[in-house]
Chains A and B, each alone.
Chain A
Amino acid sequence: MTVLETHRLDVGYGKHTVLSDINLTVNEGSFTALIGANGSGKSTLLRTLAGAQRPLCGSILFSGRKMEQLRRSELAKNLAMVFTDRTGGGGLSVRETVEIGRHPYTGLLGRLSEEDHRIVHEAIESVGMGALKDRLAGTLSDGERQKVMIARALAQDTPLIILDEPTAFLDVAGRIEITALLRRLADAGKAIVLSTHDVSSAIAAADNLWIVDKTARQLISAPRDAAIANGLPDKAFPGLHFDKTTYSFLL
Chain B
Amino acid sequence: MTRRSRISICVLALAIPVFFAFGLLAGGVELGFADVIDALSGRADPTVSFIVVETRLPALATALFGSAALAVAGLLMQTCFNNPLAGPSIMGISTGASLGVAVVLLALGGLLGFWGRMALVAGAFLGASAVLAVLLFFSSFVRSADILLIIGILTGYLSSSAISLLNYFATENSVHSFVMWGMGTFGGVGLESLPLFASLSMLFMLLCIPYCKSLNAMLLGARYAESSGVAMKRTRSALLAISGALTATVTAWCGPIGFLGLVVPHIARLMCGTANHRVLLPATALAGAVLGLVCQIASVAPSLATGAILPVNAITPLIGVPIIIYVLLNRRRLVYFS
**Which residues does A use to contact B, with CB under 8 Å?**
50-52, 72-73, 75-77, 79-81, 83, 85, 87-93, 96-97, 99-101, 103-104, 106, 108-110, 134, 136-139, 149, 152, 156
Minimum Cβ distance to chain A for residue B223 (Å): 6
Cross-chain contact A103 with B219 (CB below 8 angstroms): no
| A87-B220 contact given A81-B227, A109-B213, A138-B338, CB 8 Å threshold | yes
Q: Once bound together, how far apart are the Cα atoms of A96 and B228, in whole Å?
A: 14
Contact indicator B229/A91 (Cβ below 8 Å):
no
Residues of A with C-beta under 8 A to B230: 72, 103
* Chain B interfacial positions (CB closer than 8 Å to A): 2, 82, 209-210, 212-214, 216-217, 219-221, 223-224, 226-231, 269, 273-276, 278, 335-338
Are the CB atoms of A156 and B276 closer together than 8 Å?
no
Listed A/B pairs (10) with beta-carbon separation below 8 Å: A52-B226, A80-B227, A85-B221, A91-B274, A91-B276, A97-B220, A100-B216, A101-B228, A134-B2, A149-B224
Contact B275 A90 (CB under 8 A): yes
Residue of B nearest to A51 (CB): B226
Q: Which chain B residues lie closer than 8 Å to A156 at the CB level?
A: 228
By secondary structure, the B interface counts as: loop
Determine chain A's interface SS by DSSP, over half rule.
mixed
Contacting residues, chain B, for A72 (C-beta < 8 A): 226, 229-231
Are A83 and B223 CB-contacts (below 8 A) given A91-B276, A92-B276?
yes
| Complex CA distance for A93 and B214, rounded to whole angstroms | 16
Closest 8 CB pairs of A and B: A91-B275, A138-B335, A110-B213, A76-B229, A91-B336, A90-B338, A90-B335, A104-B229
Option from B209, B216, B227, B231 in Cβ contact (under 8 Å) with A92: B216
Which residue of B is nearest A139, CB measured? B335
Once the chains are docked, how many angstroms separate the CA of A72 from the CA of B224? 12
A99 cross-chain contacts in B, Cβ below 8 A: 216
Contacts A81-B224, A83-B224, A101-B228 given: A89-B213 contact, CB under 8 Å?
A: no
Are B274 and A103 closer than 8 Å at their CB atoms? no
Shortest Cβ distance from A224 into chain B, in angstroms? 27
Q: Which residue on chain B has the smallest CB distance to residue A85?
A: B221
Residue in chain B with minimal CB distance to A96: B276
Measured between beta carbons, the chain B residues less than 8 angstroms from A109 are 209-210, 212-213
A92 touches B275 (CB 8 A): yes
B274 closest partner in A (C-beta): A91
A92-B216, A138-B338 known; 13 new pairs, CB 8 Å cut-off, are: A50-B226, A72-B229, A76-B229, A81-B223, A85-B221, A88-B221, A89-B275, A92-B274, A96-B276, A97-B220, A103-B213, A149-B220, A149-B224
> How many angstroms between the C-alpha atoms of A85 and B219 in the bound complex?
13
Closest A residue to B232 by beta carbon equals A72
Which single residue of chain B is at the shortest CB-CB distance from A80? B227
A42 CA / B269 CA spacing, docked (Å): 39
Residue of B214, B216, B221, B336 near A87 (CB, 8 A) is B221
CB of A90 within 8 A of CB of B336, answer yes
Interface centre among B210, B224, B273 (most CB of A within 10 A): B224
A52 to B273, CA, bound (A): 33
Instruction: For residue A80, give the distance in angstroms from its CB to the closest CB of chain B.
Output: 6
Closest chain B residue to A134, Cβ basis: B2
Give Cα distance in the complex from A72 to B222, angstroms. Answer: 13
User: Cα distance A97–B82 when bound, in Å?
Assistant: 16
B residues less than 8 Å from A96 (CB atoms): 216, 274, 276
Question: Knowing A88-B219, A109-B209 touch, does A93 contact B274 (C-beta < 8 A)?
Answer: yes
Chain A residues, CB < 8 A from B231: 72
Contact A76 B228 (CB under 8 A): yes
- The one of A50, A73, A76, A110 in contact with B212, judged by C-beta atoms closer than 8 angstroms, is A110
Distance between B213 CB and nearest chain A CB, rounded to angstroms: 3
Contact of B228 with A108 in the complex, beta carbons under 8 Å? no
- Shortest beta-carbon distance, B189 to chain A, in Å? 32
> What is the CA–CA distance of A85 and B82 in the complex, to the nearest angstrom?
14
Q: How far is the CA of A122 from the CA of B219 in the complex (A)?
A: 23
Closest to A153 in B: B227
Contacts of A80 in B (CB 8 A): 227
The answer on a CB contact under 8 Å between A103 and B229 is yes
Across the interface, which residues of B come within 8 angstroms of A50, CB to CB? 226-227
B221: chain A residues at CB < 8 Å are: 83, 85, 87-89
CA distance A79 to B224 in the complex (A): 12
The reply to whether A89 and B220 contact each other, CB–CB distance below 8 Å, is yes
Which of B2, B227, B273 lies in contact with A76, CB distance below 8 A?
A: B227
Across-interface contacts of A77 in B (CB, < 8 A): 229
Known contacts A72-B229, A81-B223, A109-B209; is-contact A90 B276 (Cβ 8 Å) = no
Contact among A75, A81, A92, A106 for B219, CB-based, below 8 A: A92
Question: Which residues of A lie under 8 Å from residue B275 when comparing CB positions?
Answer: 89-92
Most buried by A among B220, B231, B274, B276: B220
Q: How far is the CA of A72 from the CA of B337 in the complex (A)?
A: 26
Q: Please, which residues of chain B bring their CB within 8 A of the CB of A85?
A: 221, 223-224
Is the CB–CB distance between A91 and B335 below 8 Å? Answer: yes
Chain B residues with CB under 8 A of A97: 220
Question: How many angstroms from the CA of A89 to the CA of B276 in the assembled complex?
Answer: 9
The interface centre, meaning the residue of A80, A90, A104 with most chain B CB atoms within 10 A of its CB, is A90
